[in-house]
A = this chain, B = another copy of it.
Amino acid sequence: MSGTVYLVGAGPGAADLLTVRAARLLGEAEVVFHDALIAEEVLRLASKAEKIAVGKRCGRHATAQRFINKRLADAARAHCVVVRLKGGDPMLFARAHEEITYLQARGIPVVVVPGVTAALAASADLRISLTRRGAARTVAFVTPRVAAGERESGWIASALAADTAAVYMGAGEAPAIAAALMAAGKPANTPVALVADASLPGVRVQYATLQELPGLSTSGAPTLILLGEVYREALPEAAAIVGRRTG
């Protein structure tokens, strides 16, 4: 007999943007293994759980993942409710596959609880639809982040083919991203929204054109790059905001 491992989406940041199910499971959990960037306010919901940070560093993925897999399995043998808490949604850019495969191979039940992903939370902050009628009917979620063993290309073509693109985990490489997209034919005046700390009280929004993207200020906070014609109307006001910040 073993407990169940719940792969739970922690949502975009704000504790009340967890799902009701996720909040309940955190309250029941005996152990919670969580990503590095989960907010303290969210972790407090796991009032009776042992909380274990298992954030991974780039380039050390393989070793760390094997270690996490084993710890999840060990915990499920000792406890009924084990939560693996991942930022955003577990099925989007979250490396859930290795954990699911490892646990299922050992007969440990795995349940996935979906979450609100950052692009939807950022869109709520902006009050601009990813698929605004007449301007966009398709949206691509992409990341330029390359892990060991993955192929390099692909994200550019997807971002170009969609009306709106949400680039995850790319803020640190904004200049390279802008250059790559423009080299591939994306117009330099494509509107961009840069959203840091989506859903949190300190959310920061900057609008610009694609060619201006490298000049925007980024921080270490979780940041999403959104681009597409749906942000065109927001540009004038945004340009003023950026002007005040940098001028």
Contact = CB atoms under 8 A, between A and B. Distances in A.
Interface of A: 9, 11-12, 14-21, 23-24, 89-98, 100, 110, 112-117, 120-121, 123-125, 127-134, 137-143, 147, 149-151, 154-155, 157-163, 199
A188 to B, nearest CB: 21
Give the copy number: 2
Nearest to A96: B129
A154 B150 contact: no
Contact of A19 (B11, B139, B160): B11
A139 to B, nearest CB: 5
Given A19-B20, A97-B132, A155 B143 contact: no
B133 A124 contact: no
Nearest to A140: B140
Contacts of A96: 129
Contact of A21 (B14, B92, B98, B158): B14
A161 B160 contact: yes
A162 B113 CA distance: 24
A134 B150 CA distance: 5
A133 B92 contact: no
A133 B95 CA distance: 6
A139 B140 contact: yes
Given A91-B130, A140-B140, A158-B163, A21 B12 contact: no
B124 A114 contact: yes
Contact of A114 (B120, B155, B160): B120
